[in-house]
């Protein structure tokens, strides 16, 4: 298990409908991720919604890609990262 | 907890409902296999019994169990159901029918009507190899039966190297297979069980973890306080029985399963009253005609209290009583087990080899090997010939030579014995087998010495089959180290002799070595012919291992010389073959073929497939190489040297994919491959592993390391005449600036690139269907069209590092309308245009006709038409202009 930063580009801008439809879409993503042993932690979205930086926990880059494909999400770049917190060092 | 009382099972209704549902579907002709896992004592058996009870009137129930023996009876569970099944199955078992006949009879049994069949097989974590193969066989065909096969197993005992793990993996992709996991009880359920008794429920729940067996044992003892372990709980209960009853329990514990109830009174020296007491107390239960412990955990607990001398004594008594039974009721596997535990040498030597032969006949090779090991433990003092015969039989069922280090001790013994009886031919043969074992344990110098000794002996005896066999092995050894000229020479001599002396199996093996050596030496036509001939013989004699091996070798050999389309076909054939034959011993070939398929598809640009294949092979844990020189008793024989060797091609494939994609975790993968490689000397993957590492270094910009990696194998590989590997290594040295001229023996596409003919190289790579390599060649040019083509290919493949490099180069050339990053690939993926189709689209945009595009891409105009049609379909347009407009709208092409 490792933590990955996944960068995605959305040329049309990412559109997730507000409300039930959006919630259902996100939960669909969560379920398909589960099938691959991948957990979506959270994402950062640029203001123009053209790019997202997503934090994932998963077993391998291949699992991340497989989950992305099943969810019709693009993958630009995958980087393995570790969490560094300002309060980590006391 | 008296037996026979219908228990209300807590928290199991959902599982029962699901199983009843599956049985209903089976009733309609849609059969199911359910694998029910759970920790020991969690109530799997209680559940199956409850289910059996519930469906008793509407289904036919058959129950079989796997033995908790070190050498379980081959197809034990099927033996168990034989008496309740139809006469045909029973007859086949009695008559020692062939395994596939028995398997098919079982399948027929499951399709009988009118009621559906519930077949329960318990404790498959103890299953013998034949039963595991049966599960594979059934798993793939269960849908067509009218049955629910319910198999239970202890999840906690099935680690990553357990044989059941592979079967479960296989079944994971089969339809009509359901996996279920039974959890322990909740605290609430424990509370319900405790009822009004004066017990601290919380403490009981914590101590037992909700394990139903443990909980019910504690509740049955009626003492204050909770016994600290399950074992203590059982013993506390047993302590309340009378002394005769306790003797009966001890005897029953030693007898184990299957238990022969007729002999229990005599063995324990008790009368039936004592046995009734055991039954009444619930420690034993009646199981149809036979007896059993309430739970295996209880038996283990009792067994632990019997002193070793007493245990031996009891085993002796059991053995004597079992031997006195009528012939038809004797099971040699069970007799061998008790003989061993009793330390009865004569009995072991009588029964173990017979049990081994029985097991081997049913392809339960693991069990056969274990029986031979058992016999060998008692074989001191046997005449040399007999001892040698036992060892040779053992070697045959355990693929000793493929095991590497554990094969050395037994083989040395065989050499000494052959020498003692004066059989020089055998001595030479065993020496050559020893050389093979030493070689697979990477002790090359010792292997050479053993081989020299073998050859020296052969020089002294008239030419015969022994010569053919030894030369065949020598060819194999040379092949392993890619010493191809001698490999072919010895292979030819082996084939010649095998033909002359008319031995099919030896001929097939010789052809295998010869063909393999020719293939990887790029003598493709003759190599393929040899291996096809080997295949024919294998089919004729019905040797599945040889057939699977020949198919896999054809695949891997062709892949090594970049004939990927053909390699793909053979590898798929090998995998299909292994899948269809449900033989555990073919697992190695299946994994080997899948690993090579990963490499093959990597080069064909099918990266998603390739990654999936690699991950499949790497998923199954392989134990660390056994470096001891004598196999541990009852060890699971796994074929082929270091069992992790099969991971190397998978690791190389995955490492290259990650490197080419720019994905993380490349180094750990390629370092693992290096760690699994022999510490020194040339071997099969030396060239390709170093090439992969060179490429990985290049793609992260470490020029120096690229050269270091390439140098590590370059001289050897060039000297060995391996044109493709030499070619790639030369290429990396050239890019790192350390080479200006390609050496003579280098594959054409690489040679062209080093000489600067990028276009010729790209064309050559296109012919081989290597899109990444073709694009890489084009990326070395300064030609804008070629660079754009390369860009499109890299984009389609998702090759981020190369994509960035080409983008940079295009910018430097001042190209306009530069693609602005990964946008296109994501859009292309969404439109599902392939890399090739993107290339065609680019050319359409530039106004090329089909004929011009065909020339540019080195394809036929017909193929271009094909691609154009596909593009139109995928973009849902009807004209080339429409395609351009749509592509611009979707962002696949820049807005003009």
Query: B339 to each of B69, B367, B380, B635, B852, how far by Cα in Å?
Result: 13, 16, 16, 20, 82
Over residues B447-458, the mean pLDDT reads 96
**Chain A residues within 8 A (CB-CB) of chain B?**
2, 4, 8-12, 60-62, 65-66, 69, 72, 74-80
Q: State the nearest Cα–Cα gap between B611 and chain A, in angstroms.
A: 7
Q: Are B333 and B367 in contact (CB under 8 A)?
A: yes
Q: Which residue has the higher pLDDT, B846 or B447?
A: B447
Q: Are A37 and A47 in contact (CB under 8 A)?
A: no
A52 backbone dihedrals φ, ψ, rounded to 5°: -125, 150
Query: B406 to each of B360, B429, B632, how far by Cα in Å?
Result: 21, 18, 8
3-state DSSP call for residue B892? coil
Q: Are B259 and B292 in contact (CB under 8 A)?
A: yes
Q: Peptide bond before B800: cis, by omega within 30 degrees of 0?
A: no
Report pLDDT for A2. Answer: 92
Contact A69 B608 (CB under 8 A): yes
B152-166, B466-480, B704-718, range with the lowest pLDDT: B152-166
On whether any CB of chain A is under 8 Å from the CB of B615, the answer is: yes
Does B890 score more than 80 pLDDT? no
- Secondary structure string (H, E, C) spanning B596-657: HHHHHHHHCCCHHHHHHHHHHHHHCCCCCCCCCCCCCCCCCCCCCCCHHHHHHHHHHHHHHH
Which among A9, A11, A80 has CB closest to B664?
A80
Over residues B298-321, the mean pLDDT reads 92
Report pLDDT for B635. Answer: 47
Contacts of B26 (CB under 8 A, 6+ apart): B32, B116, B117, B145, B146, B147, B148
Alpha carbon of residue B38 to chain centroid: 23
Which among A11, A12, A61 has CB closest to B663?
A61
Report pLDDT for B826. Answer: 47
Determine the residue of chain B that is closest to A75 in CA distance.
Answer: B826
B177 backbone dihedrals φ, ψ, rounded to 5°: -125, 125
3-state DSSP call for residue B490? helix
Task: Give the model's confidence band at B896: pLDDT under 50 very low, under 70 low, under 90 confident, else very high.
Answer: low
Q: Give the number of other Cβ atoms within 10 Å of residue B649's Cβ.
A: 29
Q: Are B46 and B313 in contact (CB under 8 A)?
A: no
pLDDT tens, position by position, A3-40: 999 999 888 777 777 777 777 777 777 877 877 889 99
Return the closest-CA partner of residue B558 out of B491, B603, B492: B603
Contact A61 B658 (CB under 8 A): yes
Instruction: Give contacts of A77 with chain B, Cβ < 8 Å.
Output: 662, 800, 822
Contact A77 B664 (CB under 8 A): no
Which among B665, B821, B827 has CB closest to A61?
B665
Give the integer Cα–Cα distance in Å for B424 and B418: 7
Q: Which of B801, B822, B825, B830 to mutate: most A Cβ within 10 Å?
A: B822
Report pLDDT for B338. Answer: 94
Report pLDDT for B714. Answer: 96
Q: State the nearest Cα–Cα gap between B823 and chain A, in angstroms.
A: 6
Q: State in Å, rounded, how far the first CA of chain A is from the last one.
A: 27
Return the closest-CA partner of residue B844 out of B835, B853, B836: B853
pLDDT tens, position by position, B21-67: 999 999 988 999 999 999 988 999 999 999 999 999 999 999 999 98
> What would the two tokens of residue B675 be?
């760690």
B65-69, B782-786, B814-818, B833-837, range with the lowest pLDDT: B833-837
Q: Are B347 and B324 in contact (CB under 8 A)?
A: no
3-state DSSP call for residue B698? helix
Q: Which of B606, B609, B658, B665 to mutate: most A Cβ within 10 Å?
A: B665
Strand partners, B119: B62, B149
pTM: 0.81
**Given phi > 0 = left and psi -120 to 50 = alpha, else beta, which region is B491?**
alpha
Q: Peptide bond before B130: cis, by omega within 30 degrees of 0?
A: no
- Secondary structure string (H, E, C) spanning B658-681: HHHHCCCCHHHHHHHHHHHCCCCC
Return the closest-CA partner of residue B753 out of B769, B773, B777, B717: B777
B702-711, B715-724, B876-885, range with the lowest pLDDT: B876-885
Report pLDDT for B622. Answer: 54
Q: Which residue has the higher pLDDT, B894 or B782?
A: B782
pLDDT tens, position by position, A55-84: 999 999 999 998 888 888 889 999 999 888
Which among A66, A74, A79 has CB closest to B664?
A79
Query: B588 to each of B594, B645, B730, how far by Cα in Å?
Result: 10, 10, 33
Contacts of B714 (CB under 8 A, 6+ apart): B690, B726, B729, B730, B733
State how beta strands B117-122 and B60-65 pair: parallel
CA angle B433, B438, B441 (to 5 degrees): 130
Give the integer Cα–Cα distance in Å for B443 and B792: 49
Does B405 score more than 80 pLDDT? no
Mean pLDDT of chain B: 88
Determine the residue of chain A that is closest to B654 in CA distance.
Answer: A62
Helix (H) or strand (E) holding B884: helix B880-889
pLDDT tens, position by position, B90-107: 888 888 788 888 999 999
B686 backbone dihedrals φ, ψ, rounded to 5°: -55, -55
DSSP state, B73? P
């Amino acid at each position: 298990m490792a933590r990955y930063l996944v960068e995605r580009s959305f040329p049309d801008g990412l559109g997730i409908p507000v409300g039930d439809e959006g919630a259902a879409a996100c939960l669909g993503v969560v379920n398909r991720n589960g099938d691959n042993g991948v957990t979506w932690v959270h994402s950062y979205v640029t203001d123009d919604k053209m790019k997202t930086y997503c934090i994932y926990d998963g077993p391998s880059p291949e699992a991340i890609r497989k989950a992305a494909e099943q969810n019709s999400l693009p993958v630009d770049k995958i980087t393995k990262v570790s969490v560094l917190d300002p309060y980590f060092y006391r | 907890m008296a037996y026979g009382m219908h228990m209300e099972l807590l928290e199991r209704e959902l599982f029962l409902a699901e199983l009843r549902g599956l049985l209903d579907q089976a009733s309609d002709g849609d059969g199911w296999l359910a694998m029910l896992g759970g920790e020991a004592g969690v109530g799997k058996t209680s559940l199956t019994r409850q289910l059996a009870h519930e469906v008793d009137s509407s289904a036919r129930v058959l129950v079989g169990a796997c033995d908790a023996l070190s050498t379980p009876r081959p197809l034990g569970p099927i033996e168990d159901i034989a008496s309740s099944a139809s006469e045909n199955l029973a007859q086949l078992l009695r008559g020692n029918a062939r395994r596939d006949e028995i398997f098919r009879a079982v399948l027929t049994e499951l399709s009988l009507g009118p009621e559906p069949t519930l077949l329960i097989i318990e404790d498959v974590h103890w299953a013998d190899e034949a039963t595991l193969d049966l599960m594979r066989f059934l798993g793939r065909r269960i849908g067509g039966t009218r049955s629910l096969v319910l198999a239970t197993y202890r999840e906690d005992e099935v680690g990553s190297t357990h044989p059941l793990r592979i079967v479960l993996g296989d079944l994971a992709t089969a339809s009509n297979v359901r996996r279920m996991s039974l959890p322990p009880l909740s605290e609430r359920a424990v509370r319900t069980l405790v009822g009004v008794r004066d017990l601290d429920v919380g403490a009981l729940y914590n101590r037992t973890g909700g394990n139903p067996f443990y909980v019910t044992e504690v509740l049955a003892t009626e003492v204050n306080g909770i016994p600290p372990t399950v074992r203590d709980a059982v013993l506390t209960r047993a302590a309340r029985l009378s002394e005769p009853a306790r003797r009966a329990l001890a005897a029953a514990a030693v007898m184990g399963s299957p238990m022969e109830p007729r002999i229990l009174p005599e063995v324990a020296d008790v009368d039936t009253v004592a046995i009734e007491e055991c039954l009444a107390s619930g420690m034993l239960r009646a199981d149809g005609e036979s007896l059993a412990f309430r739970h295996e955990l209880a038996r283990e607990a009792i067994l632990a209290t019997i002193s070793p001398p007493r245990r031996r004594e009891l085993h002796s008594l059991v053995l004597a009583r079992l031997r006195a039974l009528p012939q038809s009721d004797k099971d040699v596997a069970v007799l061998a087990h008790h003989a061993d535990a009793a330390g009865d040498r004569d009995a072991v030597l009588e029964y173990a080899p017979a049990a081994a032969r029985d097991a081997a006949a049913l392809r339960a090779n693991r069990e056969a090997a274990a029986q031979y090991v058992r016999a060998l433990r008692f074989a001191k003092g046997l005449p040399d010939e007999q001892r040698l015969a036992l060892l040779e039989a053992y070697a045959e069922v355990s693929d000793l030579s493929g095991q590497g280090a554990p094969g050395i001790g037994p083989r040395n013994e065989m050499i000494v014995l052959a020498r003692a009886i004066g059989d020089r031919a055998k001595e030479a043969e065993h020496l050559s087998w020893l050389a093979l074992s030493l070689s697979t344990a990477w002790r090359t110098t010792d292997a050479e010495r053993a081989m020299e000794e073998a050859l020296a002996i052969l020089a002294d005896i008239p030419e015969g089959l022994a010569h053919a066999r030894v030369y065949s092995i020598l060819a194999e050894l040379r092949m392993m180290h890619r010493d191809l000229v001698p490999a072919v020479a010895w292979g030819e001599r082996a084939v010649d002799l095998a033909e002359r002396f008319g031995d099919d199996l030896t001929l097939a093996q010789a052809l295998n070595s010869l063909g393999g050596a020719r293939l990887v030496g790029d003598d493709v036509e003759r190599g393929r012919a040899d291996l096809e001939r080997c295949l024919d013989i294998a089919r004729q004699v019905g040797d599945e291992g040889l057939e699977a091996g020949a198919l896999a070798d054809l695949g891997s050999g062709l892949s090594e010389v970049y004939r990927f389309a053909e390699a793909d076909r053979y590898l798929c054939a090998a995998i299909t073959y292994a899948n269809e034959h449900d033989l555990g011993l073919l697992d190695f070939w299946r994994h080997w073929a899948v690993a090579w398929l990963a490499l093959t598809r990597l080069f064909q640009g099918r990266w998603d497939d390739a990654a999936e294949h690699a991950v499949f092979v790497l998923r199954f844990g392989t134990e660390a190489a056994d470096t001891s020189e004598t196999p541990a008793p009852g060890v699971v024989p796994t074929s082929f040297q270091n069992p992790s060797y099969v991971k190397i091609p998978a690791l190389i494939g995955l490492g290259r994919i990650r490197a080419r994609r720019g994905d993380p975790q490349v180094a750990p993968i390629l370092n693992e491959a290096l760690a699994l490689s022999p510490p020194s000397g040339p071997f099969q993957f030396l060239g390709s592993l170093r090439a992969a590492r060179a490429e990985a270094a290049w793609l992260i910009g470490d020029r120096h390391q690229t050269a270091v990696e390439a140098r590590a194998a370059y001289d050897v590989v060039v000297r060995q005449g391996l044109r493709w590997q030499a070619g790639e290594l030369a290429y990396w040295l050239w890019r790192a600036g350390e080479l200006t001229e390609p050496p003579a023996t280098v594959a054409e596409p690489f040679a062209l690139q080093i000489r600067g003919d990028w276009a010729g190289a790209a064309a050559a790579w296109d012919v081989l269907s290597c899109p990444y390599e073709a694009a890489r060649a084009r990326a070395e040019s300064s030609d804008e069209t070629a660079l754009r083509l390369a860009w499109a290919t890299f984009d389609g493949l998702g090759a981020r590092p190369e994509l960035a490099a080409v983008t940079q180069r295009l910018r430097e050339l001042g190209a306009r309308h530069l693609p602005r990053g990964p946008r296109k690939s994501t859009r292309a993926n969404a439109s599902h245009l392939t890399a090739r189709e993107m290339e065609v689209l680019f050319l359409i945009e530039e106004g090329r006709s089909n004929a011009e595009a065909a020339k540019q891409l080195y394809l036929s105009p017909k193929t271009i038409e094909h691609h154009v049609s596909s593009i139109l379909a995928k973009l849902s347009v009807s004209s080339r202009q429409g395609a351009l407009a749509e592509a611009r709208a979707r962002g696949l092409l820049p807005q003009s």
